[in-house]
């Protein structure tokens, strides 16, 4: 299948973003890949080109909120359109609410919520002018229920649901579709890069993450969902049952979350 779509992926240097990049590349997409790590992005870029894609890289730091409109314009300028905007990049947390420095709360909200919002708000008019498009956003099952050691992270993911479900409702008639990508445990570096209470890196692969679904398997499900413009896709293993328990048995879900091992 040759998609011919122009796709901008943030968080493309590893994990879900990297794996999705290769699948889109094999479909003949035009790719713009972003992350903070230049060398890793260049490696992903070369593989995407080998797979048949036109591919540009655009390294930047999502926490630099004031630069994001200019960065978004740069991304758009590569191919003069963006059909699919995949806002995948994010950062997690491993600390209790009281112990977490407020600067860490703010950084997580900036990267996980305000940055995707600013990029989407800036590009939406261009996408609408070009006839519409798809915005895919990586949330989390932590955006479905509060979870120990994840107060800011869960808050940022809850907020993504509120904002992007609203975008879907407001601009549906202008051919804008939103796909909320909701991973459970996927084997990526997210726990390694998670922030401790003082802002330092967690710097270890948590057992739950290590035993999670591979990024490659997750990517296959995510790419299918994006192409079909599925409103939400749950990705993971047995931990996804908690989403359904929360919906139908919220009291039981709260008791289970209190007892769950958070790492």
Q: Which two tokens stand for residue 29?
A: 């997409």
Digit-coded pLDDT (tens) for 136-174? 999 999 999 998 999 999 999 999 999 999 999 999 999
Give me the percent of the chain exceeding a pLDDT of 70: 98
Q: Is 153 a catalytic residue?
A: yes
CATH 3.40.50.150 corresponds to the domain 6-237: no
Q: Check residue 211 and give its pLDDT.
A: 83
Active-site option among 153, 161, 172, 192: 153
The residue whose two tokens read 């600067």 is 103
Classify 203 in phi/psi space as left (phi over 0), alpha (psi -120 to 50) or beta.
left
Helices marked H in the chain: 15-26, 38-50, 68-79, 102-109, 115-129, 151-171, 190-193, 207-210, 215-228, 241-248, 250-259
The per-residue pLDDT for range 73-119, each reduced to its tens digit, is 999 999 999 999 999 999 999 999 999 999 999 999 999 999 999 99
């Amino acid at each position: 299948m040759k998609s011919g779509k122009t796709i901008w992926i943030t968080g493309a240097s590893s994990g879900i973003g990297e794996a999705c990049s290769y699948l889109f590349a094999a479909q003949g997409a035009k790719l713009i890949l972003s992350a903070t790590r230049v060398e890793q992005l260049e490696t992903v870029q070369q593989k995407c080109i080998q797979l048949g894609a036109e591919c540009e890289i655009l390294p930047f730091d999502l926490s630099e909120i004031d630069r994001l409109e200019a960065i978004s314009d740069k991304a758009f300028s590569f191919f003069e359109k963006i059909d699919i905007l995949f806002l995948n990049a994010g950062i997690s947390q491993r600390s209790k609410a009281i112990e977490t420095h407020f600067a860490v709360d703010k950084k997580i909200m900036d990267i996980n919520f305000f940055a995707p919002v600013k990029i989407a708000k800036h590009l939406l008019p261009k996408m609408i002018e070009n006839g519409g498009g798809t915005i895919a956003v990586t949330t989390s099952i932590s955006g479905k229920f509060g979870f120990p050691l994840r107060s800011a992270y869960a808050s940022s993911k809850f907020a993504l649901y509120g904002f992007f479900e609203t975008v879907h409702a407001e601009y549906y008639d202008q051919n804008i579709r939103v796909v909320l990508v909701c991973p459970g445990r996927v084997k990526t570096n997210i726990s390694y890069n998670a922030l401790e209470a003082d802002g330092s890196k967690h710097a270890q692969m948590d057992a739950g993450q290590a035993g999670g679904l591979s990024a490659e398997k997750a990517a296959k499900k995510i790419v299918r969902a994006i192409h079909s413009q599925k409103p939400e896709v749950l990705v993971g293993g047995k931990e996804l049952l908690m989403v359904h328990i929360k919906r139908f048995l919220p009291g039981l879900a709260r008791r289970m979350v209190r007892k769950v091992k958070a790492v």
